[in-house]
Structure 1
Amino acid sequence: MLATTNTTLKVSLESLPKELQGFTKRIIERTNYKKYDIEVKYFDTRGNNFLAEPYEIDITGEVAEGEKKTNIFVKWQIPQQNFKLLSIENVYSNEVFIYKDLSHIFTTLQDEAIVPQKDRYKIAKSYEETNNTAIILENLSKKGFRTYEKAEVISIKYAHLAIKEMAKFHALTFVIEDKLPEYYNNKIKVIKSPFTFEDDWAGLMRNICAHVASLYDNDVKERVKNFSSTLIEKLPKYYNSQNSVKCTLNHGDYKKNNLLVRMHDGEVVEIVPVDYQLIHYGSPIMDFLFFIFTSTDREFRKKHLTELKELYFETLSSFLKYFSMDVEAVYPRKEFEKVYTEWLDFGLMMTLHTSFFMFAPDTKMELGAVNLSDVPFCPDKKYDYLYRGLIDDFIEWGYL
């Protein structure tokens, strides 16, 4: 369930945290293995995931019916007690909610509506041992799924499938609001922004804007540098605007290295979103813009942005029909277009905001032990063209 170029290390079961050893043994007992072998692998993600230590646990053995294999993927929490930008406890509880609670609601609603398997929203199976310390899932890499690298170029087919899954995820929130209003009010609407926007964060944003500004040597340089003030003021407002726009549950981190893909003949044929740690209740435009601006370049957007926006709304509309719901009654096209235009600069702000994690090399630094505003921001130069494309888009559209 990770990018294929991560460094893999074989380790013993006994080297795992005691609690994870116990979870594994319980899964083995529940599966009724008569005898079995275990292989454990640890992944060095090169800084791609500072919130978790990822493991694969492969169990091969015999049950009463014959030979059996159980393939498990584990995200084991890395404590970051003083990390100010996010609450690590909250991001893990968010993911537990998705896999152990909301996924069952999604399944029930789609069963009742008789949504064909090929059209359903896809979510990885979790084990009951999943908790706020360990997210334990079926290892879909054993079924041919993988993730894209940060710099890997996506195809238009990939974008189509990703946008369709996103629209289904948002549509299911509208369905819950309609069919299960109490659950919606008590479980969905209460999920607030995962980020803490304080002075340390503001310092980091100024550093990021200063770096991007350094890529230019004309008047754009000052415009980008000064944009940090706008970003610091507006981004928290976008995250706290639940009462001013139509909202759904957002994935919150919907980018290409958080989407599992299955390939056939060199083309993506299936996508399964993962990594729900940054879920929040807000405008669905946020997920759409974040995906577009973190997962594509300027050339791709010039060719396909309008097409993908149309596809999103068309999928939202067609998926809601399975539940006898009219998109115009829950999210009118006019409102969608209005928010899209007014919120377009969220794509710029959020991409700059997250580029600290997406584009910077792994410094092996404990982020909970330092002020983010003091961390040197030196992204790999191979991402400069993405920054330039982002800035050039928003200059052309009149936001900078």
Structure 2
Amino acid sequence: MSVYFYIYDINPEYTNNMSNPEQILRKLLGEIIENKNYKDPKLNLEQISTGGANYTSQLFIVTVSEPGNEDLQLFAKVGIVGEKMRSQMPVLIYDIERYAYKELLGKYESIQNDHQVPAAERLRIPKFYGYNPTVYEETIVLENLAAKGFTTYDRFKSINWEYASKSVTSMAKFHALSIVYSEEYPEEYKRVLDMMKFQVDAISIFIREGLKKYQNIAIAAASENNKSKLKNYLESKVSLDVIVNFYKPGRLHILCHGDYRPSNLMHRENKDGTMEVIPVDYQTIHTGTPLTDLIYFIFTGSDEEFRRRHFWDLLDYYYRELCNALRSLGRNPRNVYPEDEFHHDVKEILPLGLVIGIILLPVITVETEDAPALDGEIDLDTVLNTKISSSYVERMRGIINDYARWDII
């Protein structure tokens, strides 16, 4: 599920024109196929399930085949957020992602080309084929990375070091490109920042209702030694203003991914034993500080054992990889983000991981059979009333243990 929501005006003329996702997709595919000059292609379209990892789109894999031509392997997302959710939490996630693939990521690719970044050091960007911007029919079509051996990580398993380190490397490349974009195209970048400005009013709805719903569940999940500590901390230190402040731009005013977690990353183990990680699902790009992506990734994807062994090492690893990415783009990291400033920012933002666990883990760890149906009628209450899983209790207890061990609660 995407966490950040953006405000826009709903056009009433669209509210009664919602169509079947497959019909919507077939229309767009016809245009893409025509542009690719296929004469009489065979189209194989298969609807796929994310098993509770996605609530905003219906997903499809598509194969376009024709004798004499190489098969075209596609992946498509058709928006399914209905009128009720849009009225509760107006969204621009589809517009954000469309802009990302159509404009922003292409700009990042050109920056990598300009700096002659070697293939192994580049941010890998999925190929973009087309889109439909019509409200209630929002669709995007990309290359099917699964056809090339990529897959998503099991959301019920904690990340391991190999996967985490490669994921953080890709994150650092994404952030470094934003930094260089800001320096090489300052006026253009300023317009992008204005467009991707973090929408405080919209996210406040989710935070407020999420805390109201889940904080007592989190306290119940805590060990006996930590129940009162957590309760006192939430009552005295956690407020809507405090949480929103974490997402305000800091020393680095960059474009963050916004939903950087294992379900939104594709990975592949190569024949030489290396691993490659490609970020996807760019619906939640927003302005902010890079550490929000890093803390978000760690606390949505890891368990207590991983963090006990690797948490501080992974933070340092991210900084080294950010420095490496900046150097590959011709920048001196010390001039961009000095290490002492990085460690200061880590200390400031660390409490965010606890809030992320409380608000998001119920949805991230929901059992597949308990995940809300993707029928367009899902609303905020449906999401917030997701059945709590045993995985949530274990993961949340581990996070609370971390914050007690770090003397934060």
> Normalising by structure 2, what TM-score?
0.86
The reply to whether residue 141 of structure 1 matches residue 141 of structure 2 is no
Structure 2 gaps of 5+ residues are 1-18
Equivalent residue number for residue 405 of structure 2: 396
SS in 2 for 1:389: helix
Structure 1 gaps of 5+ residues are 1-13
Equivalent residue number for residue 202 of structure 1: 208
**Alpha-carbon displacement from aligned partner over 1:110-142 (angstroms, at most 9, x marks no partner):** 111000011101111111335460011001100
Shift of 1:365: 8.4
Equivalent residue number for residue 87 of structure 1: 90
Equivalent residue number for residue 118 of structure 1: 120
Equivalent residue number for residue 6 of structure 2: none
Mapping of 1:197-236 within 5 angstroms?
197-198=203-204, 201-216=207-222, 218=224, 220-229=226-235, 230-236=238-244
Equivalent residue number for residue 313 of structure 2: 307
Shift of 1:38: 1.4
What is the identity percentage for the equivalent residue pairs of Structure 1 and Structure 2?
Answer: 27
Shift of 1:235: 1.2
Mapping of 1:71-110 within 5 angstroms?
71-83=73-85, 86-88=89-91, 90-110=92-112
SS in 1 for 2:399: helix
Change (3 A) 1:285 1:49: same
Change (3 A) 1:268 1:153: farther
**Alpha-carbon displacement from aligned partner over 1:226-280 (angstroms, at most 9, x marks no partner):** 54440534111222x22x5322111111111111011246966111000111111
Equivalent residue number for residue 238 of structure 1: 246
Q: 2:32·2:130 contact (CA, 8 Å) conserved in 1?
A: no
Q: 1:249·1:280 contact (CA, 8 Å) conserved in 2?
A: yes
Q: 1:204·1:373 contact (CA, 8 Å) conserved in 2?
A: no
Change (3 A) 1:323 1:200: closer
Could you tell me how far apart the structure 2 residues matched to 1:347 and 1:184 are?
29
Q: 2:211·2:359 contact (CA, 8 Å) conserved in 1?
A: yes
Equivalent residue number for residue 390 of structure 2: 381
Change (3 A) 1:314 1:216: closer
Mapping of 1:348-367 within 5 angstroms?
348-360=354-366, 361-364=370-373
The reply to whether residue 177 of structure 1 matches residue 179 of structure 2 is no
The reply to whether residue 325 of structure 1 matches residue 331 of structure 2 is yes
Equivalent residue number for residue 59 of structure 1: 64
Change (3 A) 1:148 1:373: closer
Equivalent residue number for residue 5 of structure 2: none
Could you tell me how far apart the structure 1 residues matched to 2:206 and 2:326 are?
42
Mapping of 1:21-32 within 5 angstroms?
21-32=26-37
Change (3 A) 1:337 1:374: closer
**Structure 2 residue identity aligned to 1:237:** N
Could you tell me how far apart the structure 1 residues matched to 2:243 and 2:195 are?
19
SS in 1 for 2:316: helix
**Structure 2 residue identity aligned to 1:322:** S
Q: 1:194·1:279 contact (CA, 8 Å) conserved in 2?
A: no
> Normalising by structure 1, what TM-score?
0.87
The reply to whether residue 255 of structure 1 matches residue 261 of structure 2 is yes
Could you tell me how far apart the structure 1 residues matched to 2:284 and 2:233 are?
25
Q: 2:265·2:279 contact (CA, 8 Å) conserved in 1?
A: yes
Q: 1:261·1:268 contact (CA, 8 Å) conserved in 2?
A: no
Could you tell me how far apart the structure 2 residues matched to 1:92 and 1:140 are?
20
The reply to whether residue 191 of structure 1 matches residue 196 of structure 2 is yes
Shift of 1:67: 3.1
Larger relative contact order, structure 1 or 2 (CA cutoff 8 Å, min sep 6): 2
Could you tell me how far apart the structure 1 residues matched to 2:49 and 2:164 are?
28
SS in 2 for 1:208: helix
Shift of 1:337: 0.8
Shift of 1:354: 1.7
Q: 1:56·1:139 contact (CA, 8 Å) conserved in 2?
A: yes
Could you tell me how far apart the structure 1 residues matched to 2:102 and 2:232 are?
44
Equivalent residue number for residue 284 of structure 1: 290
Could you tell me how far apart the structure 2 residues matched to 1:163 and 1:221 are?
32
**Structure 2 residue identity aligned to 1:79:** V
Q: How many residues align?
A: 381
